[in-house]
Amino acid sequence: MESTGFFTEVPFRAWSMEHLSPVIIAIVIGGVAITWNKKKPRAYQKKSLLILSIVPAIALIIYTLMKIVTGAFTIENDLPIHLCRLLALAAPIVYFVDNKFWTGIFYFWITVGTFNAVITPDVKFGFPHWEYLVYFIMHVGLVVLPFYYIFVMNHRITRSDLWNAFWMSNAFLVLTLALNYLIDSNYMFTRHKPEVATLLDVLGPWPWYLLSVQFIGLILFHLVYLPFAITKK
């Protein structure tokens, strides 16, 4: 029987309207949320931030539940260990902790890592499949967060945040690589590249792309830090 509704298995098409539409929607919603809340009382700003922080986490929970319900859940593929899933799970925690160390790391991990996941999506089926919906809700929801922290909550990104993000990235990479060998998984793509086309395809074979991504990541971290370096000067 042919799948219908949220189970419609139509292959996802990169750079089509089903790819660009959630990006455009995120820009509009993010822009409105930031503009609307910028001059609101602090308590109102924090309530809006809480809602924005919960949205990616809810998408991750729905993703996990749907995997379980459909019998497709496996510890090798569906734990919240990929960076964006971890960020979605951590977003409400970072809100309640309200620690500059973690919001600084969030900025770099999201603007570099999650943004890459938005422009090169690792999603098999297109709209209106449930996996497509929760993927983009989670990822574009994450992308809005660091800009809300900066433009509404007045967080400023420093060079220390850049290096904190870099070293924490390496620590997470090592831990993920060890876990992958223990449970025969490929979280963070540390054992092989994803099956869909990504930027990793131009960074050499395994394990060299793990080293290449360190240099690329550091360059991108400096690139997204550049506006703050210029503003500081």
Q: What is the mean pLDDT of each successive set of 10 residues along the chain, which is 233 residues long?
A: 71 90 92 94 95 97 94 91 93 93 95 90 89 96 95 94 95 92 90 73 81 89 94 71
If one counts the domains in the chain, the total is: 1
Q: How far apart are CA 147 and CA 97, in angstroms?
A: 18
Contacts of 32 (CB under 8 A, 6+ apart): none
Q: How far apart are the first and last CA of the chain?
A: 63
Contacts of 196 (CB under 8 A, 6+ apart): 120, 121, 122, 124
Contacts of 152 (CB under 8 A, 6+ apart): 34, 37, 38, 45, 48, 49
Whether the CB-CB separation of 143 and 211 falls below 8 Å is answered with no
Q: Where are the alpha helices (DSSP H) in the chain?
A: 17-37, 42-69, 83-97, 100-108, 115-119, 130-151, 159-183, 208-232
Residue 202: what pLDDT?
A: 75
Residue 197: what pLDDT?
A: 66
Whether the CB-CB separation of 138 and 53 falls below 8 Å is answered with no
Residue 166, by phi and psi: left (phi above 0), alpha (psi -120 to 50) or beta? alpha
Q: Which structural domain, as residue segments, surrounds residue 38?
A: 5-232
Distances (CA, A) of 133 to 42, 67, 162, 183, 229: 32, 14, 31, 28, 36
Residue 4: what pLDDT?
A: 65
Say what the pTM is. 0.90
Residue 225: what pLDDT?
A: 96
